[in-house]
Structure 1
Amino acid sequence: MKFFITSSTGIPNIPEFVGTVEVDELLLGYCDSNTKMDVKHDIAKSFFIKYPERLEWYKQRCFHVFPNFFKSFTNDLMDLFNQSGGVHVLQRLNGCEWDDETGEVKGFVKFGYDGEDLLEFNPNTFTWIPLRPEAVTAKQIWDADKVMREYYKTAVTQNYPEQLKKYVDYGRSVLLRTELPSVSLLQKTPSSPVSCLATGFYPHRASLVWRKDGEELHEEVDHGEILPNHDGTFQMSVDLNLSSVTPEDWTRYDCVFQLSGVNEEIITKVEKDRIRTNWGKSEMTVLVTAALVVPALILIGAAGFIVYK
């Protein structure tokens, strides 16, 4: 579960405060200081029907508490860094990870300021870790704040884990499902890398690698990020440069997809007729067009001859 908050000053036409909550990369809710609140997913809707006081808690913090709290934080940091004005952005990423097999819970809180990491909360010592030299002074101030320390200590050890477990309980059919992807081999031009694309999988904990003769490859390989699809599933791709490999040896390579919690691998072997290409389509279009145009010209010629006669 991740809460992501952005507080800004000096930027026109956008809310000064924006907050979101995600569970397993699914956006459950959004709010901003323009009094806009949007419950995004059925998991959150059923959760708030059961716990309407929790929805009211979110509203109070989104529209009143957090905007003032983060604005005050920003002013303190501006004073600390001797900044008089201009555009400034304070961000916080917080939440927890829960392994439901081992029971292990890891809470986290991290602040960023003006595009750089600032401070991170240590969930073991309940003190702040400076992430850049200028943050050492801020660490000393925040460590001395007993109220803030107790707030985040309770959050990472109790509040976040309890809330995540409730979300999982209400969204069990969605969050605990597994969906295997469709895997395709793509190539833009004959000299381009071969891209292995896996799309439509869930959850996002997955791996996609290239292998040669059963051994995982690391050279000539370019891994892409895991990206969300519009339907709540995910996609990822990994490219392999085969420009120095003869076509006869292509079959020694395969793309392997592995989804967390699923024992079976999806193995896609590199074969010429399995690669979808843009340039192949263009050539096919020319052939089809020629196949249609030639008979048409013959028919037109024949019709012209008959009319002439």
Structure 2
Amino acid sequence: MRKMLLKLVLLCLWHLVASHAFITTYTEINGHAIEGIPEISSVAALDGRQIDYYDSEIKMLIPRQDWMKEFISGDRFKEYTEIRERVQQTNKINITVLMQQFNQTHGVHTYQRMYGCEWDNETGYSRGFDQHGYDGQDFILLDMNELRYFTPVQQGVITMYKWNNNRAQLELLRQYYQHECVNWLQHFLKLRKVDLERAPEVSLLQKGPSSPVVCHATSFYPSEVTITWLKNGQEHHEDVDLGEVLPNEDGTFQKTSSLNIPPDEWEKNQFVCEVQHQGRTFRKTVDEIKNNTKSVHCCGFIEAVIRLVLSVLVGVATVIILVYDITSY
């Protein structure tokens, strides 16, 4: 499961360096082998933010974002839920057959599928992906460039040949990932429009008189932001420790820039932290330093990744599911 989870985390963070990503995953655990974890679950994520959740115990598709309420009120939400129910029945068969194919008669085993698309709203570039895993290892994957499946394990060869010989299905997949998936991604972006821009909250924090002064920008969206220190009106780059852009739990972002200089430098010069975001500029001066008794840290990122990995362990989902019957493994 480790490889599949790592790939999901990387893809969910894809929007930090590109534009948008819509990812759906499914997880099936044979039987009720682990207490508190449902047999089948699903989760969908838009730009790294979970937007819904479904599992075989609650048997309901639950929105994870307020803006999804508009989607819930429409007819397509019912279809969205029915898809999960159909996949639940299909996955029960799939994992049973996979256990037989791997010559396994007992034990806890997991089947996962992760797929979706990426889209750059500036260039129009899009890319689809479709990956299947068993017990944490890659089982079969779709190469969108060559439009064919490949497998790293001997047990997947039969399925690989079967799916690659179905050219009509492969063409449907191409159309889905190039067009329909992107259309769904754009649809959800429109529903999420209230979240598309949030101005940063900027603070100057300092633990003590001799500690570095931290310029902390948080709660902004999208993720592109620039933090610059000014000394007497000129850009100052010495003794500056610039942090990475990190995601907050609510889908916004944070970034820090620390200035470590002696106290007398603050008295002799005027230092200003300047934050630029979406064409707007925000400034904080030394007079606005807050005495922070707790260290500025990056736990928002760690917590977000932990929540993401836990949701993967109990989750998987999709907008338009292309159900695979793998009984011929």
Query: Do both share a fold (TM > 0.5)?
Result: yes
CA-to-aligned-CA distance 1:40-93 (integer Å, 9 cap, x gap):
44543433544x1x2232222212x21233334434444455544322333333
Q: d(CA) in 2 for partners of 1:46 and 1:19?
A: 20
> Quick one: which of 203, 206, 227 aligns to 2:224?
206
Which amino acid in structure 1 is aligned with residue 201 of structure 2?
Answer: S
Q: d(CA) in 2 for partners of 1:58 and 1:110?
A: 21
Which amino acid in structure 1 is aligned with residue 199 of structure 2?
Answer: L
Pair 1:11 & 2:27 matched:
no
Q: How does 1:1-309 map to 2 (within 5 A)?
A: 1-9=22-30, 10-34=33-57, 35-41=59-65, 43-50=67-74, 52=75, 54-63=76-85, 65-115=86-136, 119-128=140-149, 134-135=152-153, 138=156, 141-142=159-160, 144-145=162-163, 146=166, 149-150=170-171, 152-169=173-190, 171=191, 173-175=193-195, 177-188=196-207, 195-203=214-222, 205-207=223-225, 214=235, 222-223=243-244, 225-229=246-250, 234-238=252-256, 240=258, 242=260, 245-248=261-264, 257-259=275-277, 262-266=278-282, 271=286, 274-278=289-293
- Taking a change above 3 Å as real, the CA distance of residues 153 and 275 of structure 1, as seen in their structure-2 partners, is same
Shift of 1:234: 1.2
| Structure 1: runs of 5+ lacking an equivalent | 281-309
CA-to-aligned-CA distance 1:211-261 (integer Å, 9 cap, x gap):
6974779996553631233xxx5132346484xx534457798766554xx
Number of positions where the alignment pairs a residue of Structure 1 with one of Structure 2: 263
CA-to-aligned-CA distance 1:94-116 (integer Å, 9 cap, x gap):
22223333333222233444445
Q: d(CA) in 2 for partners of 1:119 and 1:216?
A: 49
Which amino acid in structure 1 is aligned with residue 23 of structure 2?
Answer: K
Is the CA contact (8 Å cut-off) linking 2:203 and 2:290 kept in structure 1?
yes
| Structure 2: runs of 5+ lacking an equivalent | 1-21, 296-329
Is the CA contact (8 Å cut-off) linking 2:227 and 2:257 kept in structure 1?
no
Q: d(CA) in 2 for partners of 1:275 and 1:189?
A: 10
Shift of 1:265: 4.8
Is the CA contact (8 Å cut-off) linking 2:210 and 2:262 kept in structure 1?
no
Identity of aligned residues (%): 25
- Taking a change above 3 Å as real, the CA distance of residues 127 and 194 of structure 1, as seen in their structure-2 partners, is farther
Is the CA contact (8 Å cut-off) linking 2:111 and 2:135 kept in structure 1?
yes
- Greater shift, 215-224 or 20-29, is seen at 215-224
Q: Which has the higher helix share?
A: 1
CA root-mean-square deviation: 4.0
Name the structure, 1 or 2, with higher relative contact order (CA <8 Å, separation 6+): 2
- Taking a change above 3 Å as real, the CA distance of residues 186 and 76 of structure 1, as seen in their structure-2 partners, is farther
Structure possessing the higher radius of gyration over alpha carbons: 1
Q: d(CA) in 2 for partners of 1:188 and 1:119?
A: 52
Which amino acid in structure 2 is aligned with residue 56 of structure 1?
Answer: K
1:302 alignment counterpart: none
Q: d(CA) in 2 for partners of 1:79 and 1:99?
A: 42
1:295 alignment counterpart: none
SS of structure 1 residue aligned to 2:187: helix
Shift of 1:118: 5.3
Shift of 1:274: 1.4
Which amino acid in structure 1 is aligned with residue 244 of structure 2?
Answer: H
